[in-house]
Structure 1
Amino acid sequence: MTYCTQQDLVDRYGQTKLVQLTDKTNRPQTTIDATVVSKAVADASSLINSYLGKKYQLPLTAAAPEVLVTYACQIAWFLLHGDTAGKDHAARMAYEDARKWLDRVAAGAVIIEGAGEIIAPAGGGQIKTKGPERIFTRDRLGSF
């Protein structure tokens, strides 16, 4: 399941900027390379799933909540910048904000409404161990 689409990226960042980041073949750049966008969106979704999987049953049962669409777009946008990501301060900051938010989701500090079933924490049973029989006991050392 992907959390954002190419159209979501166009709506947030504009078609011209998306063309500039993805069209590596045409000069001048004229079209959005859907393959490049799909790869960035898939990578962003995989990253998000690595955090959500700690708290939620995947895949999510409902459509992605808007907050996930927003953060998926921010992550995909950063990934689309590739080697130039360090030069775009806004893209880097948005990416880091998304990662911090995902950390909070994984820790259970943030609940995503409508995201589906929350995984119950593992049961708190007792720890059981079994070792070899004791060599030195009171009965065996009683005559010393």
Structure 2
Amino acid sequence: MTAYATIADLEARFPSELTLLAADETTGLRDDVRIGHALSDSSIEIRAILAARYSAAELAALDAGSLEVLRVYCADMTLYRVALSFARSSEAIKERYDQAVKRLEAIAAGKGALSTTGGTSGGPAGGEQLPNDVGQNEVVVVGPERVFTRERLGRI
């Protein structure tokens, strides 16, 4: 599984913060290995939160807009993990992390949605496939064939 954000995304979003937070204690240089581990851990956490609503196949088939949303959340979560790793956390960084987790949990609870390239989004977690023409907020009831029909009982 790939990460939802890259070091380049973090550099673009937090150029000075990343350098200050991820500076190695002995050399003073940015430690990209630890940043990479934080990116991986954040992506794993995102998948774990969204697994309540999305299957692994759906998460692998997310469209560009949904991936951009996850990139933002992953960047905030990664920055927090980097700050913790180097013991340089602040209240603002923790608040951004908490908000990202809260938004992801809301998506997993159905208060938001991610869309896939296949046209469906947020299907059942049990792996059932819904027809492609069913909208996100429509109810689909699937049940066994009726046992007692007029044809089977005869005319009354």
Q: Same fold (TM over 0.5)?
A: yes
For 1:30-73, what per-residue CA distance to the aligned partner results, in whole angstroms no more than 9, with x for missing partners? x3222011011001101100011111121421456211000000
SS state of the match for residue 65, structure 1? helix
Q: How far is 1:26 from its partner? A: 4.8
* 2:68 aligned residue (38, 63, 66): 66
Gap change, CA 1:109 and 1:7, over 3 Å in 2? same
- The alignment yields a C-alpha RMSD, in angstroms, of 2.4
Does structure 1 conserve the Cα–Cα contact (< 8 Å) formed by 2:21 and 2:88? no
| Runs (5+) with no aligned partner, structure 1 | 126-144
Equivalent AA in structure 1 for residue 23 of structure 2: D
Equivalent AA in structure 2 for residue 119 of structure 1: G
* 1:4 maps onto 2:5 in alignment: yes
Q: How far is 1:121 from its partner? A: 5.0
Report the structure number with the largest CA radius of gyration.
1
Gap change, CA 1:33 and 1:84, over 3 Å in 2? closer
List, as ranges, runs of 4+ consecutive aligned residues in structure 1 with deviation greater than 4 Å. Answer: 121-125
Partner in structure 1 of residue 83 of structure 2: 81
Partner in structure 1 of residue 19 of structure 2: 19
| Runs (5+) with no aligned partner, structure 2 | 129-141, 144-156
Gap change, CA 1:26 and 1:73, over 3 Å in 2? same
SS state of the match for residue 18, structure 1? helix
Alignment map for 1:51-62 (pairs within 5 Å): 51-58=49-56, 59-62=59-62
Length, aligned pairs only: 120
Q: How far is 1:84 from its partner? A: 2.9
Q: TM-score, normalised by structure 2?
A: 0.66
For 1:57-112, what per-residue CA distance to the aligned partner results, in whole angstroms no more than 9, with x for missing partners? 21421456211000000000011111332xx2221111111011011011111101
Percent identical residues? 24
Q: TM-score, normalised by structure 1?
A: 0.71
Equivalent AA in structure 2 for residue 92 of structure 1: K
Does structure 2 conserve the Cα–Cα contact (< 8 Å) formed by 1:56 and 1:115? no
